[in-house]
Structure 1
Amino acid sequence: MFKDLWIDLDASAINKTGAGTVKRLVGLDAICPMFIGVRAPGMLRTFILELPRDSAPLPEIIPASRGLYFTVQITGDEILPDHASLILSSSAVGYNEIFASIAEDLYSKLHALTKKREVIAGFLSRVRLWQAFFEKQGDDGLSEEAQRGLYGELRFLKDHAFASAHNLETAVLSWTGPRSRQHDFQFGHAAVEIKTSTSKQHQKLQIASEQQLDETTVGKLYLYYLSVALIESGSDNLPSLVDDIRASLSLHTGALSEFNNLLIEAGYIDSQRSKYDSTGYSTRESAVFLVEKDFPRIRENEIRAGVGDVKYSISVAQCRNYEIPVSELAVSIKEVC
């Protein structure tokens, strides 16, 4: 959206004498003026939201995070007397490309709002969403493990949650993994944990905590296992799966908006899709296990006092006695969605 404008701003900031921000007004009809800019001499991209001074939140309302720097400036001039500037900046030049996506997201979500309090609330909400994005991201996009995990969760969402649901928005909201909940999907009292593996023989699944496969905290706990082969430049990759899901939601604007928010929280943005195009996936096997009885796992109440940060692995072969038809899981999904 602002590609050419960023190029112009970068050029102006490079030629600027002394410190300061070169900025341009965007959204002429917005109720709160918005600017994008580049701060010299550091060449950091910036988004600025202007609003009345008495409406400005405290600077510490948004804690510091990797990738972003937030501050509030109280200023005034002849054009905008007694006003405040909410300033969001890239914290390093290396984050400038991602910040371009952040600025476009803020503009697209805020410029049509008609009440100033809605603009402020929307701004703060989107900034927190992008902070969650940076918590999942490495400096060069999602790691291979994170890509594989996200692919598995999206494959389950499309092939099983959507296939069994009557309401696609409810199905999207069942995807709780990006929000760091205890399980990847929650369907009422039933939860689903997704594990995606690329190993060929004697497959083991990595369990992140003593709570992840503790079925005593939910009504039913299912483990969805997906075995995939990596295919160099395969057509079934992470971006293509995202596109397929968006196409399924194209007539459901609420569900699509929520899905896009969850992608950001999961660490995925479209401007980085070229990083993920080269890794394709081919499904070798999928299975559903019901976690119960003597299923190989550790429960939280089995941990001795003083022991924490438990991580362990389980053998897929030892889970086979607990395999159930996928139709049984579909029943739990249909009851909620």
Structure 2
Amino acid sequence: MFKDLWSDLEVSASHKTGPGSARRLVGLDAICPMFIGVKAPGMLRIFILEVPRDSAPLPDIIRVSRGLHFTVQITGNEILQDHVSLIISSSAVGYNEIFASIAEDLYSKLHPLVRRKEVIASFLARVRLWQVFFEKQGDEGLSDEAQRGLYGELRFLKDYVLPAAVRLEKAVVAWTGPRSRQHDFQFGEVAVEVKTSASKQHQKLQIANEQQLDETTVGNLYLYYLSVALIEGGTDTLPALIDDIRAILSPQLGALSEFDNLLIEAGYAHSHRAKYDLTGYSIREAAAFLVGTDFPRIRESDIRIGVGDVKYSISVAQCKNYEVPISELSVNIGEACL
């Protein structure tokens, strides 16, 4: 959205002889003026929202986080200092690329709003969302393992959840993995944990904690297993899958907006698309297992007092006795997403 404008601003900022910033007004008709800019001499990208001073949030409302820096500056002339600039900036030049996505997200969400209090509340909510993003991904984007995990969850969403749903937004909200819930998907009393593996033989699935496969907290707990081959230059990539899902959700803007929010919380940003497009996936095997009494896993009640941070692995071969038709899982999803 602002690609050429960022380039112009960087040229203008580079010509400054001392500290300062080059900025441009965006969204001329917005209820609260918005600017993007580049701050010299560090060449850090910034987004500025101007709001009435009496409704501005305190500086300590937004916590310090990796990737972002937040400041509040009083603006206006010496007599009428009635406005405050809420300034978000990248904390280092290395974050400038992802900051372009942040600025576009803030602009697109704030520009249509017509009430100043609503603008401020939305601004704070979006900044907190991006702070969650920086907690989930490294400086160069998601790791290979995290990409595979996200691909598996989104493949399950596209192949089984969305086709079974009448209300798409309800189906999207069932994807709880990005929000660090106990399971990746929650459909009422039915929960689904998704595990994706790229190993070739004797596949093992990594379980993050003792609650992940503890079926005693839900009515039915399923483990959906996806085995993939990595195809360099393949067309079935993580961004391509996301494009497909966004196309399905596009008729229902509420569902699409919720999906985009969840992607951010999962650590995915469109500005890293070129990196994620390098790896394609080919599905070798998919199966669903019902986690029952004798399923090979650890329950929270199995852990002795004083023991914590439990991580373990299970063999896929040992899960085969608990395999159920995926159609059984689809029926349960459909009943929950009516």
TM-score, length basis structure 1? 0.98
CA distance in 1, matches of 2:63, 2:89: 14
SS in 1 for 2:89: strand
Tell me what 2:232 maps to.
232
Instruction: Measure how far apart 1:184 and its partner are.
Output: 0.5
Q: How far apart are 1:254 and its partner, in Å?
A: 1.0
Give, in angstroms, the shift of residue 5 of structure 1. Answer: 1.2
**Residue 251 of structure 1: how far off its partner (Å):** 1.1
**Quick one: distance in 1 between partners of 2:111 and 2:12?**
25
| Distance in 2 between residues matched to 1:231 and 1:4, nearest whole Å | 34
- 1 CA distance for matches of 2:198 and 2:80? 58
Q: Match for residue 247 of structure 2?
A: 247
- Structure 1 Cα separation of the partners of residues 6 and 280 of structure 2: 33
- CA distances 1:27-69 after superposition (whole Å, capped 9, x unpaired): 1101111111111111110001001111011111111111001
Aligned to 2:24: 24
CA distance in 1, matches of 2:194, 2:128: 26
Match of 1:288 in 2: 288
Partner of 1:163: 163
Q: Which residue of 1 aligns with 2:321?
A: 321
Aligned-partner SS, 2:146? helix
Other-structure match for 2:70: 70
Percent of pairs with identical residues: 77
Once residues 37 and 313 of structure 2 are traced to their aligned partners in structure 1, the CA distance between those partners, rounded to angstroms, is 48
Q: Which amino acid aligns with 2:213?
A: L
Distance 1:28 1:115 in 2: 15
CA contact (8 A) 2:74 2:81 kept: no
1:118-157 equivalences under 5 Å are 118-157=118-157
1:180-228 CA distance string (max 9 Å, x none): 1111001011110000001111110000001111111111111000001
* Cα drift, residue 81 of structure 1: 3.1
Q: Which amino acid aligns with 2:96?
A: N
Question: Which AA in structure 1 matches 2:188?
Answer: G
SS in 2 for 1:114: coil
Q: Which residue of 1 aligns with 2:111?
A: 111
**Which residue number in structure 2 is paired with residue 46 of structure 1?**
46
Shift in Å at residue 79 of structure 1? 9.9
Deviations 1:69-111 (A, max 9, x none): 1122233327963211111000000000110111111111111
Measured in 1, the distance between the counterparts of 2:147 and 2:101 equals: 20
Cα 1:4/1:316, change in 2 over 3 Å: same
**Contact (CA 8 Å) 2:237, 2:281: kept in 1 or not?**
yes
Amino acid at match of 1:278: L
Name the aligned partner's letter for residue 202 of structure 2.
H
Asked whether 1:223 is paired with 2:223, we answer yes
Structure 2 CA distance for aligned equivalents of residues 219 and 89 of structure 1: 46
Letter in structure 1 aligned against 2:118: E
Secondary structure (helix, strand or coil) at the match of 2:282 reads strand
Residue 17 of structure 2 is aligned to residue 11 of structure 1 = no
Q: In structure 1, give the amino acid aligned to 2:214.
A: D
Q: Which residue of 2 aligns with 1:310?
A: 310
1:277 aligns with 2:277: yes
Question: What is the SS of the residue equivalent to 1:313?
Answer: strand
- Whole-angstrom CA distance in 2 between matches of 1:185 and 1:117: 34
User: RMSD of the alignment, in Å?
Assistant: 1.2
Q: CA offset at residue 4 of structure 1?
A: 1.4
Shift of 1:317: 0.8
Give the unaligned 5+ runs of structure 1. none
1:270 maps to amino acid: H
Cα drift, residue 145 of structure 1:
0.2
Partner amino acid, structure 2, of 1:202: H
Secondary structure of the residue that 2:166 maps to in structure 1? coil
TM-score, with length taken from structure 2: 0.97
2:287 partner amino acid: A
Local SS of the residue matching 1:13 = helix
- Of 264-273 and 24-33, more deviation after overlay is shown by 264-273
User: What is the DSSP-based 3-state SS (H/G/I as helix, E as strand, rest coil) of the residue aligned with 2:236?
Assistant: coil
How far apart are the structure 2 equivalents of 1:72 and 1:314?
50
Question: Structure 2 counterpart of 1:266, which letter?
Answer: A
Q: Distance in 2 between matches of 1:37 and 1:77?
A: 21
CA distance in 1, matches of 2:298, 2:93: 44
CA distance in 1: counterparts of 2:65 and 2:88, whole angstroms:
12
